Every structure is written in structure tokens, then in C-alpha cells.
Amino acid sequence: MPTPLRRLAGLLVALLPATAFAQSLHIDIGGYLPAPLPSFGAVNGLSGIWNDVDMDSANQVLVDLAGQPTAARVSWPAQGHFDDGWMETGRQVGRLLDDYQLVVGGVGAFSSWNITGLEDGVYRVTFYSKPTDEMQLEGITRFVVQDGERGSIECDSRAFQAFAGFRAGINFAQDYVTVSGGLLQWRVEVAEGPAAHFCGLQLEKLVPGDAHTYCQPKTNSLGCTPTLSWSGTPSLTSAGLLLRADNLRSSQPGMLVWSRWQNGMPHLSLTGLVCIARPFRRTPMSSSGGSASGLDCTGSHDFLFDASFFLAAGLSPGDSVCCQFWTQDGPGTDGRTAGFTFVIAP
């Protein structure tokens, strides 16, 4: 059973973004609506201040998640214009998605952006693009990231769906990028249709050994919400990181599912979120244990991320892993924990 100290260690990682996640940044594009509140972690799950960037911003100084000014500045050369939509999702997500930069001019039209003054290193960058309906300009938005692992990533807003969660490839796209010389550059392009939308981004500095939760767990049919705790270090030279899920329905099968990419999309039941994006892999099924009745929440699952796992999976120091436990919740239903992500250390 995890000790209170281990639970506290996991909690502190989530509560201290300014310390654990050096020069991570949130940017809300638009200026028509207020920026999201600091408690809104969107896809990457980090709470903190959102920088409000609008059409009048030029070489704007960016603050970090704690609201402290940094050496980083964001600029755009006035291609495209800023606009606001009418889709009201309520909650904080509306502040992020409901105003945006609109790039028009048909396929090939683009707007260039850059951030200077960043700390060098590897970042996970999450771009947001507004899903549209018949009253908006529909299309595919492409983000072209210089020195990105994927380099070119897209959001397809042609098929409107009411917002129920963040969907990779629909209203956000993610890449890993190596920043050198303090410079991050990207383009927002119209890949298909008449227009592209750019709503904002999250930039997370990846520090080997860092770990935190993101995404929301699903409360099961017994009214129990799964919890995650962890101990150790995800390293090739240590005993590894042990991740544990508690408060699960007892005597039910489950598994760990992992990927290198985050998600926040609704499951088919629309009562829980799939917190990882394809391509993902699964571990073998195992029982949650606990009482034999299966009618309480004394079950648990755990998984050890150690050197043998990393080597077998083809992962290296500096790589980021995203994972989630999927379990059965009685006949015909399933359960899911929150998402968990960490960066592999040497």
C-alpha cells in the first residue's frame, strides 16, 4: 500500500508547476474573451497563468505558470486576423476555444509565429484549434513546427461535434520539439478548406524525472473515483517508478495502456475520458484483487516502469510516456483512472 509520504510526493509534483516545470507556458490566442483561469489545465494538466495574446500583441513578454515574467517573447508578422466565434461550451474551455486567430485565403495560406528567449531543451507543445459547425469556416488546420518530432500536425474541424472533451486531431494537436538558441518557430496553415483556426498553445518544458497527472478519472458504478500514486524515479539506472491505482472495483480485470501522446477524448459511453492518443500499447490483463465479492472499491492495479521496460519498448532518456489504467466496472461497463505522464531520466 502506498505510504502517505509517497502520496504527498505525487501531490507536490502536481501543486508546484513553477518549480517542477521550468519555463512552461500557456498562451490563449484571441483577446475577445478573458483568458482561462489558472486552475484550467486543458490537455497537459498543468495549472498556471495563461498569457492573453491578441492582434495588438507584438514581441509580447510571456509569463510562466506562476505568473513571473520570463525572457521569452512571442511575435507574429500580421498574417491572418483575430476573430471570435459563437460556440459557447460553458466552463473554462470556452475561453480557450471561442476566440482565435483566423487564417483565410484558401489552401496554402499561413501565419508564422515564433517565441524567442526560451530555455533550450525539449518541450511538449500542444496547439489548440477550434472545431467548427456549419456557421463557421470549416477546414483542416495544419501546424508546421520547426525541429518538431512530427513536424507537421493537423486538426480537422470539418465534422462538428459538441464539445465533450479534447480530441487529438480534432481540437488539439501535439508534438515534441527541441529548442536551441532559445527559438521556437511554427506556422499555422490552411491544409484543406477556406480557413485555419489557432486558439492557443501549451508549452511544457520536459525535465528528466518529472511526473504529473492530467485528464479526469471516471467515477465508477459504485461511486468510487480512482486515485493514482507513485514512487521512485523513471530512470535507466534506478529501480524505476512504481505507479499504483487505488479505489478500484474489486476482483475486476484491468490493464495499463500507454503511449507517448496525451488525449482527453470522451469514451463511447461519454462518461469517462480516454487520456492517451494513438498509437498506444497495452500490458497484459490482471485482476484488481481486493474482496472476492466485486462489490466494493478495495481493488488496485500497479505497474513498474523500469530499465527493462524502457529498453523493451525502445524508449530512451528524455522520452515522455503517457499512460492510464483501464479496468472493468462490472458487466458491460468499464473504468478509467486519470492520465499520468513522466519523462525518462538517464
Q: Which helix (H) or strand (E) holds 60?
A: strand 60-63
Determine, yes or no, domain membership for 7: no
319 and 200 in a common domain? no
154 and 33 in a common domain? yes
338 and 219 in a common domain? yes
Return the amino acid letter for 56: D
Q: What is the number of domains present in the chain?
A: 2
Which domain covers residue 221, as residue numbers?
Answer: 211-343
Determine, yes or no, domain membership for 276: yes
Can you give the pLDDT at residue 295? 93
Determine, yes or no, domain membership for 9: no
**What is the band of 2 on the pLDDT scale with cuts at 50, 70, 90?**
very low
Which pLDDT tens digit goes with each residue over 133-190? 445 567 899 999 999 999 999 998 776 566 778 999 999 999 999 999 999 999 999 9
**What is the band of 20 on the pLDDT scale with cuts at 50, 70, 90?**
very low
> Residue 311 above 80 pLDDT?
yes
Listed residues 190, 205, 220: the one ending a domain: 205
78 and 174 in a common domain? yes
**What is the average pLDDT score of the chain?**
88
Give long-range contacts, CB 8 A cutoff, 24+ apart: 82-90: 82/29, 82/30, 82/31, 82/32, 82/54, 82/55, 83/30, 83/32, 84/30, 84/32, 84/33, 85/130, 85/132, 85/136, 86/135, 87/130, 87/131, 87/132, 87/133, 87/136, 87/163, 89/163
Average pLDDT over residues 102-106: 89
> Residue 76 above 90 pLDDT?
no
Listed residues 186, 205, 224: the one ending a domain: 205
Of 67-76, 81-90, 176-185, which gets the smallest average pLDDT?
81-90
Closest CA to 302 of 6, 61, 63: 6
Alpha-carbon Rg for the chain, nearest whole angstrom, is 20
247 and 327 in a common domain? yes
Determine, yes or no, domain membership for 310: yes
135 and 40 in a common domain? yes
Q: Supply the CATH number for residue 119's domain.
A: 2.60.120.430
Determine, yes or no, domain membership for 17: no
Share of the chain above pLDDT 90, in %: 70
Listed residues 155, 190, 205: the one ending a domain: 205
Q: Supply the CATH number for residue 321's domain.
A: 2.60.40.10
> Residue 88 above 70 pLDDT?
no
Whether pTM > 0.75 for this model: the answer is yes
Q: Which helix (H) or strand (E) holds 14?
A: helix 4-15
